[in-house]
Amino acid sequence: MAWPFLPSDPILSLRAIAVTRGGVPVLSDVSFDLGAGEAVILRGPNGSGKTTLLRTIARLQPPLSGEILGEVDDIAYAAHADGIKGALSVAENLRFWADVFGTGAIDAALSAFDLRGLRDRAAQHLSAGQKRRLGLARLLVTGRRIWALDEPTVSLDAASVALFADALQGHLTAGGAAIIATHIDLGFDARVIDVSAFRAVACDDFDGAFL
């Protein structure tokens, strides 16, 4: 992919974004820049709008106002649900996504999340933590520059969190970037943004909920 920005330029910019969930504005006036090699951690209590903000950044829903600058095809989104098909094996699940994203190779991703020994196991027989590792390994086969991750470490043990931190560090070193909603400390320096500072004021726009 062509590199449309200088390394010092942000690869993703949020300008005064307001997001809604179920027709109710939850965050307003969110602005930040994300540069290559940078990670941003979103914090905030449950229901404060972290997931909604990530879905908006992934263009799964439009912002209520404001604009997002950056390539749409730069973002890999990982949510609470991993999108794993139980009837397929670990390798087949991963290869499907590698083919969809046009990258092809899955071995590096399997190694990075210690899934080699499980590659022919049907995904329905994996534990919750193993499924999560498979879901995270999917990020490596997307070849996308910006990872938008929603609670990536849920149900991971300490060793797996370390694997994830290593993979993330490698991604950042290679010029990638990440926006992560998490409650735990991943063990490296990252800019922390507390979304509760952007809480939207209750809005009286009655028609807005229907549009």
Partner 1 sequence: MIRLVLRDLALAVRAGGGFGLGLAFFLIVVVLVPFALGPETTLLAVIAPGVLWLGALLACLLSLDRIFALDFEDGTLDLLACAPVPLEGVVAAKAAAHWITTGLPLTLAAPILGVLLNLPGPGFWWLVISLAIGTPALSMIGAFGAALTVGLRRGGLLLSLLVLPLYVPTLIFGAEVARRGAVAMTLEAPLLLLAGITLGVLALLPFAAAAALRINLR
Binding flag, residue 158, partner 1 (CB under 8 A): no
Binding flag, residue 73, partner 1 (CB under 8 A): yes
Binding flag, residue 92, partner 1 (CB under 8 A): yes
Structure tokens at 120: 């022919």
**Selected binder of partner 1 within 7, 80, 184, 209 (CB under 8 A):** 80
Binding flag, residue 101, partner 1 (CB under 8 A): yes
99 vs 194, which CB is nearer to partner 1? 99
Mark 13-37 as b/e (b = at least 16 C-beta within 10 Å).
bbeebbbbbeeebbbbebeeebbbe
* Residue 122 burial (CB count, 10 A): 15
CA 148 – CA 97 distance, rounded (Å): 17
Total of residues contacting partner 1 (CB under 8 A): 27
**Selected binder of partner 1 within 26, 39, 64, 84 (CB under 8 A):** 84
CA 10 – CA 30 distance, rounded (Å): 16
Quote the least distance from Cβ 147 to partner 1, whole Å.
11
Binding flag, residue 97, partner 1 (CB under 8 A): yes
Question: Would you say the C-alpha torsion 56, 154, 42, 165 has a positive or negative sign?
Answer: negative
CA 57 – CA 77 distance, rounded (Å): 9
Binding flag, residue 127, partner 1 (CB under 8 A): no
Cβ proximity of 131 and 123 under 8 Å: yes
Quote the least distance from Cβ 79 to partner 1, whole Å.
5
CA 165 – CA 199 distance, rounded (Å): 29
Residues from 46 through 65 that contact partner 1 (CB under 8 A): 58-62
Binding flag, residue 77, partner 1 (CB under 8 A): yes
Quote the least distance from Cβ 100 to partner 1, whole Å.
5
Q: Which residues bind partner 1 (CB under 8 A)?
A: 58-62, 73, 75-85, 87-88, 92, 96-97, 99-102, 138
